[in-house]
C-alpha cells in the first residue's frame, strides 16, 4: 500500500515537473519570436555604440545582463564616455528606472503565490522591462496560477538571452555599421512597444490615453528633458482616466 502511494506521488511530481518544463519552453518561444528579434536588433545597436564609446565587450555584455534596460544603459554609457562620475551616472539611471515601478506594481500580483520561491520573485523582478512586462500582462491572466511564474521566467530568460547575443553581434559589427544605424536600432524597442499598445487597445479610453501621450510627448521633451516620459505617462493616463470616469461609456468595449 505504501509503495503504491509512493509511486503515485512520484508520478504526480514527475507530471508537475514535466508540465513546468513545457510552460518554461512556451515562455522561451514567446520571447524568441517577434519580441526577441526586436530586442536583439536593439541590443545590437547598443553593442555598436558601446564599442564606439570605448567600452570592452565584457563591460557591454555585463551591463546588458545586469541592467536589462536600454535607456538606463545608454545613460550610463554616455556618462562614462564623457568622463562623468559613477555616482552621477547611478543617479541618472535611478531616474530612468522610475518608469519601471508601475510595471512592477501591476505585474507582480500575477506572479506572487504560495508556491513561488524568493529567488523566483527576485529573478522575475529583474526581468520586468517594457517588452517582458507587455508580454506578461498579455499572457499571464490566461494561465492557471501554478504556471504564471514559470511562463514569465521563460519569457524573461529568452529576452535576456536575445539581448546578450545582440550586444555581442553589434559590438563585433561596430566597425561596419554607421553610428546613425546603430542609434536607429535602439528605437526599435519603443516603436514595438508603441505599436503593441495600439494593438492591445480595446476601450476608447485606451486610445484616448495613447493620443494624449503622443501629443504631450514632444512639448514635454522640450520643457522637461529627462522627465518627459514620466510626466507624459502621468498626465496622459490621469487625463484619460478622469474622462473615462466622467463618461462611463468610454469603459465599454468598442466591439
pLDDT digits (tens, 9 = 90+) for 23-59: 999 999 999 888 888 888 888 888 888 887 788 899 8
Average pLDDT for 133-145: 89
pLDDT tier for residue 165 given thresholds of 50, 70 and 90? very high
Q: How far is CA 88 from CA 60, 74, 77, 246, in A?
A: 19, 14, 12, 44
Cα 149–chain centre separation: 16
pLDDT value of position 158:
94
Average pLDDT for 110-125: 85
Q: How many structural domains is the chain composed of?
A: 2
Query: Is the pLDDT at 156 greater than 90, yes or no?
Result: yes
121 in the same domain as 27: yes
160 in the same domain as 224: no
pLDDT tier for residue 72 given thresholds of 50, 70 and 90? confident
Which structural domain range is residue 255 located in? 201-255
148 in the same domain as 159: yes
pLDDT tier for residue 123 given thresholds of 50, 70 and 90? very high
pLDDT value of position 10:
39
221 in the same domain as 189: no
Radius of gyration over alpha carbons of the chain, in Å? 21
Tell me which residue of 209, 182, 171, 137 sits closest to 61, measured CA to CA: 171
Tell me which residue of 97, 73, 86 sits closest to 227, measured CA to CA: 97
Tell me which residue of 153, 208, 165, 145 sits closest to 57, measured CA to CA: 165
176 in the same domain as 69: yes
pLDDT value of position 5:
41
Phi-psi region of 84 (alpha: psi -120 to 50; beta: other; left: phi over 0): beta
The predicted-structure confidence for 143-155, as pLDDT tens digits, reads as follows 988 899 999 999 9
Most confident of 5-19, 53-67, 188-202: 53-67
Q: Which residue has the higher pLDDT, 123 or 209?
A: 123
Looking at the DSSP assignment, which residues form a beta bridge with residue 253?
203
> In this prediction, what percent of the chain has a pLDDT beyond 90?
16
103 in the same domain as 28: yes
219 in the same domain as 106: no
Please state the φ and ψ torsions of residue 61, each to the nearest 5 degrees.
-70, -40
136 in the same domain as 58: yes
94 in the same domain as 25: yes
Average pLDDT for 83-105: 79
53 in the same domain as 163: yes
The predicted-structure confidence for 174-214, as pLDDT tens digits, reads as follows 766 677 776 677 677 677 667 767 766 667 777 888 888 88
35 in the same domain as 51: yes
231 in the same domain as 106: no
Q: How many angstroms separate the CA atoms of 82 and 188, rounded?
A: 25
Q: Which of 1-10, 67-76, 94-103, 164-173 has the lowest mean pLDDT?
A: 1-10
Residue ending a domain, among 163, 178, 200, is 200
pLDDT value of position 249:
53
Q: Which DSSP string do the residues of 156-192 spell out, in sequence order?
A: HHHHHHHHHHHHHHHHHTGGGS-HHHHHHHHTHHHHH
Residue ending a domain, among 200, 229, 246, is 200
The predicted-structure confidence for 239-253, as pLDDT tens digits, reads as follows 888 887 776 554 454
User: Nine-digit cell at 175?
Assistant: 566597425
Amino acid at each position: 500500500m505504501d509503495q503504491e502511494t509512493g509511486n503515485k506521488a512520484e508520478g504526480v511530481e514527475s507530471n508537475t515537473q514535466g508540465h513546468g518544463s513545457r510552460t518554461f519552453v512556451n515562455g522561451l518561444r514567446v520571447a524568441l519570436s517577434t519580441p526577441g528579434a526586436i530586442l536583439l536588433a536593439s541590443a545590437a545597436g547598443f553593442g555598436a555604440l558601446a564599442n564606439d564609446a570605448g567600452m570592452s565587450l565584457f563591460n557591454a555584455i555585463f551591463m546588458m545582463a545586469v541592467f536589462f534596460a536600454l535607456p538606463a544603459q545608454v545613460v550610463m554609457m554616455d556618462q562614462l564616455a564623457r568622463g562623468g562620475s559613477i555616482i552621477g551616472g547611478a543617479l541618472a539611471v535611478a531616474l530612468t528606472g522610475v518608469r519601471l515601478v508601475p510595471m512592477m506594481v501591476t505585474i507582480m500580483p500575477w506572479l506572487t503565490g504560495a508556491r513561488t520561491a524568493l529567488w523566483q520573485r527576485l529573478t522575475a523582478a529583474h526581468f520586468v522591462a517594457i517588452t517582458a512586462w507587455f508580454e506578461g500582462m498579455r499572457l499571464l491572466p490566461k494561465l492557471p496560477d501554478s504556471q504564471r511564474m514559470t511562463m514569465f521566467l521563460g519569457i524573461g530568460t529568452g529576452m535576456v538571452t536575445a539581448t546578450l547575443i545582440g550586444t555581442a553581434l553589434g559590438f563585433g559589427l561596430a566597425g561596419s555599421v554607421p553610428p546613425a544605424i546603430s542609434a536607429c536600432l535602439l528605437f526599435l524597442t519603443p516603436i514595438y512597444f508603441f505599436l503593441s499598445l495600439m494593438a492591445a487597445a480595446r476601450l476608447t479610453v485606451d486610445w484616448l490615453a495613447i493620443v494624449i501621450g503622443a501629443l504631450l510627448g514632444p512639448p514635454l521633451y522640450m520643457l522637461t528633458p529627462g522627465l518627459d516620459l514620466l510626466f507624459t505617462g502621468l498626465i496622459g493616463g490621469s487625463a484619460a482616466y478622469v474622462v473615462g470616469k466622467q463618461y462611463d461609456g468610454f469603459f465599454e468595449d468598442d466591439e
